[in-house]
Amino acid sequence: MWLYVIKRLLQGIVTVWFIATATFFAMHNVPGDPLLNDRAVTEAIRANLEAKYGLDQPIGTQYLIYLRNLSQGDFGISFTQENREVNDIIREHFPVSAILGILAVVFAAAGGVLFGALTALYRNRLPDYIIMFLVILGISVPSFVVAALSQLTLVTLNSAVGTTVLPVAGWGTILHMLVPAMVLGLGTMAYLTRLMRSSMLEVISSDFVRTAKSKGVPPARIFAKHQLRNAILPVITVLGPAIAAITTGGFVVELVFAIPGLGRYFVQAVQQLDYTVIMGTTVFYGAFLVFMVIVVDVLYGFIDPRVRLE
């Protein structure tokens, strides 16, 4: 078991190194120039800027310097946020994305499992039709539409009540989080509902459920122990990547609700060719994703004893 974990972690490190290398060279080959700005600068100023960011070195040397700093956990200084270290940007803004992400994932997972089980239980009946209709909506409507619509609803709600029931945007209190987290988790919730429903339906018709029923096991116990617990496995599988996707993919929601998360930096860095921030956020998110996948694999062993980790 521990050997397995260590092996997976080592593989993970190689994966992250690969991500870092690929991003590094891809980034340097993107047309455009991180030091170009509205006002053109003279050769001399440009040389000063290049020296400051180490861009005057050959690309191979830059890569080696980068790897050395990376191994010490130093991502360097941002090109656009000139006095801030990338480490600081990640440290200050990732918690925001993470808090929002955790809440969204919990919304998504709890809702997905419960609605999935519900639709399977009442399959081809009214609750099933209603929820599955909403699920299709949830999957197909993009998050920027949902975000804008829900914000508009909040404005209408607040003006109808005459006071601020829920804030329209911003960050800081629990009230600021609820709506953005729901918007962020909606797509995943819809996806998990579908997944849970089909997985439940498969389990319901399996032999061990029929055996349990014929043995006279109480229905609530069959539902909880035999059906739910077996049906939830595929949901756990996609949950790992889903957590990473939600935590890293909140850019639109962060923008609309003016939330100071890392997603904004991630996207803006690419547009502004902020080399150090691109590298920092990509490697960080990459490592996070790899780590989540490993965690899910290990969790498997606990949830399903049939999976042996060796």
User: Rule CB under 8 A: which of 152-191 touch other proteins?
Assistant: 152, 154-155, 158-159, 164, 167-178
The binder of other proteins chosen from 14, 22, 110, 307 (CB under 8 A): 110
> In angstroms, rounded to a whole number, what is the distance separating the alpha carbons of residues 271 and 263?
13
Helices (H), ranges, 30-85: 43-53, 59-71
- Count residues near other proteins (CB under 8 A): 86
Position 56 contacts other proteins (CB under 8 A): no
> Which amino acid makes up residue 211?
T
The binder of other proteins chosen from 27, 139, 272, 301 (CB under 8 A): 272
Restricting to residues 119-158, name those near other proteins by CB under 8 A. 121-123, 148, 151-152, 154-155, 158
The binder of other proteins chosen from 71, 72, 83, 214 (CB under 8 A): 83
Stretch that binds other proteins, among 6-14, 47-55, 61-69, 235-243 (CB under 8 A): 47-55
Restricting to residues 2-41, name those near other proteins by CB under 8 A. 30-34, 36-41
| 3-state SS, one letter per residue, for 159-187 | HHHCCCCCCCCCCCCHHHHHHHHHHHHHH
Containing H/E element for 279? helix 275-303
Restricting to residues 202-231, name those near other proteins by CB under 8 A. 202, 204-205, 213, 218-220, 222-224, 227
305 sits in the region (left: phi over 0; alpha: psi -120 to 50; else beta) called: alpha
> Which amino acid makes up residue 121?
L
Restricting to residues 62-81, name those near other proteins by CB under 8 A. 78, 80-81
**Closest residue by Cα to residue 267 from 256, 284, 255:** 255
Position 237 contacts other proteins (CB under 8 A): no
The binder of other proteins chosen from 2, 3, 29, 42 (CB under 8 A): 42
For 18, how many CA atoms within 13 A lie in the half-sphere containing its CB?
7
Restricting to residues 275-304, name those near other proteins by CB under 8 A. none
